[in-house]
Structure 1
Amino acid sequence: MATWNSRGLRGSTLEDFINRTNEWYEELGLALIQKIPTPITPVKIDKEHRHITLAYFDKISTVDYIGAVQGIPVCFDAKECSTDTFPLQNIHEHQIQFMEKYEAQGGISFLLLYFSHKNELYYMQFTEILKFWKRAKQGGRKSFRYEELNPGFFMEFKNNCFVPYLDYIQKDLDCRD
């Protein structure tokens, strides 16, 4: 079991907490979300220790997670940031394109962002991601600052480890109406 303390995600990662949250949501019958593995081809394998020491990506991946919440298609990516400034180069153009197409098909796309130095989680709506992305493409900042984010979409861990993104999907949907 992952350890938790007030100084952040020590001994675990955001991905671990999202995976545990997804299992919990599935057990409750609330959602079915799967982690999408990044396809790799091993180049070197340490046979004695049975692990890959060198590999390359087979193809460009899309997002980290995909599934359905109460019949609504959902896809999202998870990112960690150790400062108040998040470089947009950490979100790839093919991910933006995939999320944009996903939204056009009636799905919901978003980013879960963990500010590790503040121990704060943020649900970034696709419209907000796109706003910052377009600003950069038009010659503006190639990053966004913590202060620029919508205060209403900061989350708190539930039970010290669960990422309550379902609450924020509902909030996202309410903003779309």
Structure 2
Amino acid sequence: MVAVTTTLSIGEVSERTGLSVHALRFYEHEGLFINTVRRGPGGRRVYSQDDVAWLNVCIILRASGMPLTALRRYADLVRDGAGNEEERLALMREHQERVTTEIGRLTESLDLIRFKVGVYEDLADQGSAAAHQCHAPSPSADEERTPLPRHKAVVQ
């Protein structure tokens, strides 16, 4: 049985990934593809489903805040193949720690936002726009272990 390889144009890859044509060219220029981007007979870029799958990994890692330098290093390691799994693991663990810290910060922000929504809902229910001082909820035992700044909220 012969394997059929579907080739995709840069526009089709842009549609499938949500990346702009400019971003796809940038990713290529920055060495973020694990396979060399092939060229068709007219010199146009030709992509495979594997390229799209890899780009989706890149999109998720970038959305999680992975710096381009780390993503480039990860692409280099994947491109190099087997034998560097320990380095890939270290890179991913480091990024996991950054994401976990950011989730903690975002959770704190969400807690404050939820508190403020509650304050404004109460004020709206009372029909009063009178400003009064209110404080953000006290940290729980779990939050106290995270060295994130606490905020006082004033109705504004």
Which category of TM-score, normalised to the shorter sequence, fits these structures? under 0.3
Superposition TM-score, scaled by structure 1 size:
0.22
Larger relative contact order (Cα-Cα within 8 Å, sequence gap ≥ 6):
1
TM-score, normalisation: structure 2: 0.24
- Structure showing greater radius of gyration is 2
